[in-house]
Structure 1
Amino acid sequence: MEKSLKLWKRYSFTLLIAFIVLGMFDLRFAVVAAVCMIAPIIVSIYKGRFWCGNLCPRGNFYDNVVSKFSNKRIPPKFLKSYYFRAIILTVMMSVFTSGVYKNWGDLYGIGMVFYRLIVVTTIIGIALSLVYNHRTWCNFCPMGTLASITGKFRKSKKVLHVSSSCVSCKICEKKCPIGLVPYDYKGDILSHPDCIQCGKCATACPKKAIGYNKITIK
């Protein structure tokens, strides 16, 4: 299972490229983007934002391609605030819903709504990476925001845990693409709802103090 996940994380970004190319020839194909709008919410019920850090083709595109030329600066806090994210969510969902409603019954028209949404937001994510790090978009992605909210209600799940052997060397903080501070959770689970569980903090930890445990979230 771990080997399959590693392969997916490394190569699933090709699905995003295929989506963009195929959409140029037939917009009806673009409606498959609905999967990437629904799946993050479903997965969050069980694993929080696991989709964002492991299964999202666009997220993996940012990790494997965009990270090579990103500025690697942590995004400003206002981009992570729920006020800003609520505005982005409201605006984007309003535009999306309106577009689908106006084109209802026309699969090409609905496909265009999906296609335009994915292409435009991907370009925004790339542009932001030139100023900040490669995962800047993920801080206020509408689906990520909904997954963050839904994930707060999960109970007994496999989650990252920071053991008491943590020495607060701050390496994990530098490696976190979302700008979280894992060592603040020393001796506890990494319960922050925006943790995308990419595992970069666990991989970078010199004391191997960060790992997965299946425990009950109270």
Structure 2
Amino acid sequence: MNFYKKYGYIIFLAFLVLSLFNMALASIAVICMIAPVILALLGKGRFWCGNFCPRGNFYDNIMKKVSPKKEVPKFFKSTILRTFMVFFLIGMFSMGVKQNWGNPAGIGMVFYRIIVITSIVGIILSMLYSHRTWCNFCPMGTLSSLVAKVRRKNVALKVDSSCVGCNLCAKKCPMGISAKEYKNSHITNTECIHCNECVYACPKKSINLDTNL
């Protein structure tokens, strides 16, 4: 896992380059559309987002170095924007696939075009705010969070009583979640992507994964 979290972005870059030689290969991006929701259905919440998403890994390893790490504006976390993104992108994808049905290269181009455009948006936002600003309104992340809320089950981090409320965790969290709000309890916020940045940032080692859940 540590190796992947350090070099997983290579998969994202390889996808962008290799698909240009055979656009049908771009259809492999369907994995990143289905896997997040499947893991959420299995009770893992947005675990995919913080651990397996190749583009998310790119943000963590590349864009984080140039990001000003500013707080993400509330608009990007709003229900209105997130709902719009879900219906808009899935709608565009569905129409594109329907129009190119029977044409593997055409379908691949639909995937590729959506990935490239949304990645450009994500990169621009990374240079303006937090490196994972896109993740706050990513359609698949939104759906995964919704599934986690419906299932009422989520991989949770436990915040011990030793928490002093310094809020260093919130400053490191790409989703802006403050662990101090869950002192003596679990971080049950379904927007948590389980990147463990809060665990590494806590000077008191008060945040730990509860393996009993």
TM-score, structure 1 length as denominator?
0.94
Q: Tell me whether 1:27 sits opposite 2:28 in the alignment.
A: no
Q: Please name the residue that 1:39 is paired with.
A: 35
Aligned AA for 2:14?
A
Structure 2: gaps (5+ residues): none
Distance 1:127 1:169, change over 3 A: same
Q: Tell me whether 1:94 sits opposite 2:91 in the alignment.
A: yes
How far has the Cα of 1:214 moved from its partner?
3.3
> Which of the residues 58, 63, 81 maps onto 1:61?
58
* 1:189-218 superposed Cα distances (whole Å, 9 cap, x missing partner): 1000100010000111011110111355xx
Q: Tell me whether 1:174 sits opposite 2:168 in the alignment.
A: no
Q: Matches of 2:95 and 2:59 in 1, distance apart?
A: 29
How far has the Cα of 1:70 moved from its partner?
1.0
Q: Matches of 1:127 and 1:195 in 2, distance apart?
A: 23
Q: Matches of 2:164 and 2:116 in 1, distance apart?
A: 42
SS of match in other structure, 1:172: helix
Aligned AA for 2:193?
I
Alignment of 1:79-118 (within 5 A): 79-118=76-115
Q: Matches of 1:123 and 1:62 in 2, distance apart?
A: 12
Which aligned runs of 4 or more in structure 1 are off by greater than 2 angstroms?
Answer: 153-158
How far has the Cα of 1:156 moved from its partner?
6.0
> Contact 2:154/2:190 (CA < 8 Å) preserved in 1?
no
Q: Please name the residue that 2:182 is paired with.
A: 185
> Which of the residues 185, 205, 208 maps onto 1:208?
205
How far has the Cα of 1:62 moved from its partner?
0.2
Q: Matches of 1:185 and 1:205 in 2, distance apart?
A: 14
Of 147-156 and 32-41, the range deviating more from structure 2: 147-156
How far has the Cα of 1:83 moved from its partner?
1.7
> Contact 2:45/2:155 (CA < 8 Å) preserved in 1?
no
How far has the Cα of 1:157 moved from its partner?
5.7
What is the aligned-residue RMSD (CA, Å)?
A: 1.2
Q: Matches of 1:214 and 1:6 in 2, distance apart?
A: 18
Q: Among the aligned pairs, what percent are the same residue?
A: 50
Aligned AA for 1:160?
L
SS of match in other structure, 1:10: helix
Q: Please name the residue that 2:6 is paired with.
A: 10
Count matched residues.
212
Structure 1: gaps (5+ residues): none
Q: Matches of 2:50 and 2:193 in 1, distance apart?
A: 5
* 1:148-203 superposed Cα distances (whole Å, 9 cap, x missing partner): 00112446664211111111011111111111111101111100010001000011
SS of match in other structure, 2:156: strand
Aligned AA for 1:96?
F
Q: Matches of 1:157 and 1:82 in 2, distance apart?
A: 20
